[in-house]
Amino acid sequence: MMETRSIMIVGVGGQGTLLASRVIGSVLLTGGYDVKVSEVHGMSQRGGSVVTYVRYGDKVASPIIEKGQADLIISFELLEAARWVSYLKKGGKIITNTQQIEPMPVITGAVKYPENIVENIKAAGVDITAADALSLAVEAGTPKAVNVVLMGMVSKTVSFDEQVWLDALKQCVPPKVLDVNLKAFELGRGIA
Amino acid sequence: MSKLMLGNMAVARGLYEAGVDVVSSYPGTPSTEITEFAAKYDEMHTEWAPNEKVACEAAIGASIAGTRAFCGMKHVGLNVAADPLFTVSYSGVNGGLVIGVADDPGMHSSQNEQDSRHYAIAAKVPLVEPADSAECLLYTKAAFELSEKFDTPVILRLTTRIAHSQSVVSESERIPHETGEYVKNSEKYVMMPANARPRHAAVEKRTEALREYAENCPFNRVEMGGTKIGIITSGIAYQYAKEAFGDEASYLKLGLINPLPEKLIKDFAAKVDKLYVVEELDDIIETHCRKIGLSPVGKELFTYIGEYSPVYLREKILGEKAEYTEYPENVPVRPPVMCAGCPHRGLFYILHKLGVTVSGDIGCYTLGAAAPLSAMDTTICMGASVSGLHGFNVARKGEFEGKAVAVIGDSTFIHSGITGLINIAYNASNSTVIVLDNSITGMTGHQNNPANGYNIKGDPASAVDIEAVCRAVGIDRVRVVDPNDLKATEEAVKEELAAKAPSVIITRRPCALLKSVKHKPSAVVDSDKCRSCKACMKIGCPAISMSTGKAKIDNTLCVGCGVCGGLCKFDAIKEGV
Ligand SMILES: Cc1ncc(C[n+]2csc(CCOP(=O)(O)OP(=O)(O)O)c2C)c(N)n1
């Protein structure tokens, strides 16, 4: 029996992490796995730290992921990568956007936004890929496509046929904005 | 066809397949999506009611009329709907009646973590609890069968991790439910003492029958594995236990939580060396076990507080610890905040500036309690801002009448603010109530409500005239301001606090996240003019920061509301183009 694998999607409420988890969920289901996705709705979606768990394998019981268990963390924001790195399992991987969104304690001046996050994570022996997904999304046509740029990056790690990803995107993205999103996906896929 | 579905979506699918005709609910995380998905099926009449009591009573009416009916709510919603629940338990049903309630262990989005299972016991109604989306669909359908078979309302209980997790579900066709005959039957449906006494006896008889049913209910199942550890569990806790112990342990997985079986549990207990009860929140199953003479390990080992997890269970039962490495430095917290452009911000800035005491309520505006706005003194439950302010003012003999206000959102005002306002008028306190009308139920993810002119499908609907309601209940001083106009807002608050009469201020501006709201270009900072005085930081806007020493506006977040510009004495913040 295949061991259940765990992917975490972390970010800031409003960044579109839910859409990403749905695309990944759909890709994995097409891949023939049992899948569970645990989402966060409600209060924290108002600009708080948000996390979505995706677990897949032959048969998945728990929908949640705990410290030391994630095979892959996809972080939509740099500080969130630092916050959740303890959830990574030994040998796990992080894909992170380098975009910085200041949380309220930083905005009010109570604390500073930490520096050298990518370096610190690397120094801890973690495999991390960092890219400016926001700029690529803007290049694709809208800053809102950050999530899809990251999906493009992930598509190289969680490898399935590219077509499976494209089909999942088509299922989850409104037709009006599909073209922009396909472009964002390709730009992301080009990095990893 | 197999699909990934949220637990809530699977419940909605279950309603559809069960042939339900009427769904009446009030939103509340984590239950909201049940009703939102239900509204996508045209075969069902689906609606947002003004509150849970109304929703539950509408569903009861539909059941008595002979159709299958459902109402959905979050755990605290059942407090509001408890009154009809306890008596519909006596009257029973005609068409099947299911009440869906979603608990929130861990309080991801709630003001408490009460355990709804107590209600099933107290009201003497059956309660079923699914453990994944497939069971959400299955149990929803079965709950209607149970309801009709035993002439009882049934509670379908979810928790956040079931309601908001997606797992694989296969759909089937809708089987329309034939509307039963409606025959006047006052002995069954008119619950006055002479009729209610025999109905109570009927309830006790029903519970006996249900107890017997519980022994063989297909939703209570034994899964034998290793017999050193035996676990009685249900819902999400079952999944955690399965993940933690797999075949190492044996499980009695309960789906029908009220009433609980006796023989089934005793038989299972006899087969295992050590018996554990694993249930989040209160000791409902454990207490039942003790009542029937067993001594399982339960809350002496596991907490009453928050959520469990597989690692938690292994740690408690086997003493194992998880291994991981923390980030080497402190990571600043990221609490939720009012969005950039939120129309609540201007009002809270003024309330903070004036230093008034704020009797608060529940909604996005509860975020006004957080720094730097810090303008809220109390939050108890929906509606308590208005009624609580009255009590506060009466108790302090007028001392606070000129320096305390209540704040309440439009949906919350309709839900349970109006009765409190009647009390202010009727029992004459000089209270000032502020209704924050952003034309939507914001916190729970944008549901239309009776004051915004649209129904659940987005079709135009009758809209409550909030000003007229306030006047009609006896408040003469009623005025409307735009909360983004700081000057007018400050004036209004000062004047109404000074007035020697009860008053209502309606701060009216639609939520900035509504699709119908056109955003202006992001504001820009002229850094030559910025003197770093931080006046603009006092509104706690997530788009403004000082990390470079001067004010900086994040153009991906700013929607050009202009509130910060009004605070800058040096004219450094300009409208964008
Ligand atoms: C009895 C009860 N039902 C439902 C909820 C969930 N809930 C929290 S706030 C809220 C309504 C918020 O809408 P509104 O008052 O319009 O304020 P907004 O969030 O739009 O600012 C709801 C439904 C609750 N906390 N209590």
| pLDDT tens-digit readout, A158-189 | 878 889 999 999 988 999 999 999 999 999 99
Instruction: Specify the pLDDT at position A16.
Output: 87
Evaluate: CB of B27 within 6 angstroms of ligand 1. Answer: yes
Nearest chain B residue to A106 by CA: give it. Answer: B332
Evaluate: CB of B438 within 6 angstroms of ligand 1. Answer: yes
Contact: B545, A36; criterion CB under 8 Å: no
Residue B361 CA to ligand 1 center (angstroms) comes to 9
Contact: B322, A25; criterion CB under 8 Å: no
Evaluate: CB of B343 within 6 angstroms of ligand 1. Answer: no
Distance CA B262, CA B246 (A): 25
Residue B109 CA to ligand 1 center (angstroms) comes to 11
Lowest mean pLDDT, pick from A141-145, B450-454, B475-479: A141-145
pLDDT band at B500 (very low <50, low <70, confident <90, very high): very high
Ligand 1 atom nearest B408 alpha carbon: 15
Instruction: Specify the pLDDT at position B2.
Output: 86
**Three-class DSSP category at B367:** helix
Contact: B331, A44; criterion CB under 8 Å: no
- pLDDT at residue B516 greater than cutoff 90: yes
Instruction: Specify the pLDDT at position A43.
Output: 67
Contact: A47, B326; criterion CB under 8 Å: no
Distance CA B17, CA B170 (A): 12
Ligand 1 atom nearest B382 alpha carbon: 26
Residues 268-297 (B) with a CB less than 8 A from some CB of A: none
Q: Percentage of chain B surpassing pLDDT 90?
A: 97
pLDDT in tens, A1-50: 788 999 999 999 888 898 899 999 999 999 999 999 998 776 667 889 99
Q: What kind of architecture, by CATH, is found in domain B221-318?
A: 3-Layer(aba) Sandwich (3.40)
Residue A36 CA to ligand 1 center (angstroms) comes to 29
| Whether residue B30 has a cis bond before it, omega within 30° of 0 | yes
Q: Percentage of chain A surpassing pLDDT 70?
A: 98
Q: What is the 3-class SS of B46-61, one letter each residue?
A: EEECCCHHHHHHHHHH
Tokens at A1, concatenated = 């029996």
- pLDDT at residue B125 greater than cutoff 80: yes
**Three-class DSSP category at B356:** coil
Contacts of B310 in chain A (CB under 8 A): 61-62, 64, 66
Distance CA B164, CA A39 (A): 6
| Mean pLDDT score, B274-295 | 98
Q: What is the 3-class SS of chain A, one letter each residue?
A: CCCCEEEEEEEECCCCHHHHHHHHHHHHHHCCCEEEEECCCCHHHCCCEEEEEEEEECCCCCCCCCCCCEEEEEECCHHHHHHHHHHEEEEEEEEEECCCCCCHHHHCCCCCCCCCHHHHHHHCCCEEEEECHHHHHHHHCCHHHHHHHHHHHHHHHCCCCHHHHHHHHHHHCCHHHHHHHHHHHHHHHHHC
Q: What kind of architecture, by CATH, is found in domain B345-508?
A: 3-Layer(aba) Sandwich (3.40)
Q: How many residues does chain B have?
A: 577
Task: Look at ligand 1, atom 10, and give the residue with the nearest C-alpha.
Answer: B363
**Which residues, in sequence order, are bridge partners of residue B2?**
B170
Q: Does B444 touch chain A (CB under 8 A)?
A: yes
Domain edges within chain A: 5-191
Whether the full predicted model's pTM is greater than 0.80, yes or no, is: yes
Ligand 1 atom nearest B110 alpha carbon: 25
pLDDT band at B542 (very low <50, low <70, confident <90, very high): very high
Q: Percentage of chain A surpassing pLDDT 90?
A: 78
| Mean pLDDT score, A54-62 | 97
Instruction: Say how many CB pairs under 8 Å bridge A and B.
Output: 184
In Å, how far is B372's CA from the nearest CA of chain A?
7
- pLDDT at residue B301 greater than cutoff 80: yes
Task: Look at ligand 1, atom 22, and give the residue with the nearest C-alpha.
Answer: B28
Lowest mean pLDDT, pick from A135-144, B248-257, B265-274: A135-144
Tell me, what amino acid is at B452?
N
**CA A4 to the chain's CA centroid:** 18
Instruction: Specify the pLDDT at position A133.
Output: 96
Instruction: Specify the pLDDT at position A160.
Output: 80
Contact: B331, A82; criterion CB under 8 Å: yes
Instruction: Specify the pLDDT at position A108.
Output: 84
Instruction: Specify the pLDDT at position A44.
Output: 66
Residue bearing tokens 């999906």: A151
pLDDT in tens, B326-381: 999 999 999 999 999 999 999 999 999 999 999 999 999 999 999 999 999 999 99
Distance CA A142, CA A136 (A): 9
A144 or B379: which carries more pLDDT confidence? Answer: B379
Residues B401-430 as b/e (b if ≥16 CB within 10 A, e otherwise) read bbebbbbbbbbbbbbbbbebbbbbbeeebb
Residue bearing tokens 């930490």: A114
- pLDDT at residue B1 greater than cutoff 90: no
In Å, how far is A21's CA from the nearest CA of chain B?
10
Backbone angles phi and psi of B30, in degrees to 5: -100, 35
In Å, how far is B200's CA from the nearest CA of chain A?
40
Contact: A42, B109; criterion CB under 8 Å: yes
Evaluate: CB of B440 within 6 angstroms of ligand 1. Answer: yes
Choices 3.40.50.720, 3.40.50.300, 3.30.70.20, 1.10.150.120: CATH for B524-574: 3.30.70.20
Question: Edge-to-edge, what's the strand order for the sheet holding B503-508?
Answer: B357-359, B404-409, B432-437, B503-508, B477-481
| Whether residue B372 has a cis bond before it, omega within 30° of 0 | yes
| C-alpha distances out from residue B191 to B84, B85, B188, Å | 11, 13, 7
Domain edges within chain B: 2-214, 221-318, 345-508, 524-574
| Nearest CA-CA partner of B486 in B306, B348, B338 | B348
Query: For an interface test with A, which of B29, B166, B330 has the most A Cβ atoms less than 10 Å from its Cβ?
Result: B166
Contacts of A19 in chain B (CB under 8 A): none
| Mean pLDDT score, A103-121 | 93
Instruction: Specify the pLDDT at position A2.
Output: 82
Tokens at B495, concatenated = 């004047």
Evaluate: CB of B409 within 6 angstroms of ligand 1. Answer: yes
| Mean pLDDT score, A105-110 | 87
Tokens at B511, concatenated = 């939520």
Nearest chain B residue to A79 by CA: give it. Answer: B331
For chain B, the average pLDDT equals 97
- pLDDT at residue B509 greater than cutoff 80: yes
| C-alpha distances out from residue B118 to B93, B115, B123, B259, Å | 21, 6, 8, 11
Fold for the domain defined by B2-214 = Rossmann fold (3.40.50)
Nearest chain A residue to B542 by CA: give it. Answer: A104
- pLDDT at residue B242 greater than cutoff 80: yes
Tell me, what amino acid is at B519?
H
Nearest chain A residue to B549 by CA: give it. Answer: A109
Instruction: Specify the pLDDT at position A192.
Output: 60
| Mean pLDDT score, B74-88 | 98
Nearest chain A residue to B235 by CA: give it. Answer: A62
Evaluate: CB of B80 within 6 angstroms of ligand 1. Answer: yes
Class (C level, CATH) for A5-191:
alpha beta
Q: Does B339 touch chain A (CB under 8 A)?
A: yes
pLDDT band at B548 (very low <50, low <70, confident <90, very high): confident
Tokens at B385, concatenated = 């801002």
Q: Does B323 touch chain A (CB under 8 A)?
A: yes
- pLDDT at residue B560 greater than cutoff 70: yes
| Mean pLDDT score, B23-34 | 98
Instruction: Specify the pLDDT at position B412.
Output: 98
| Nearest CA-CA partner of A43 in B38, B28, B409, B545 | B28
| C-alpha distances out from residue A121 to A71, A79, A115, B109, B326, Å | 15, 11, 11, 31, 10
Distance CA B159, CA B131 (A): 9
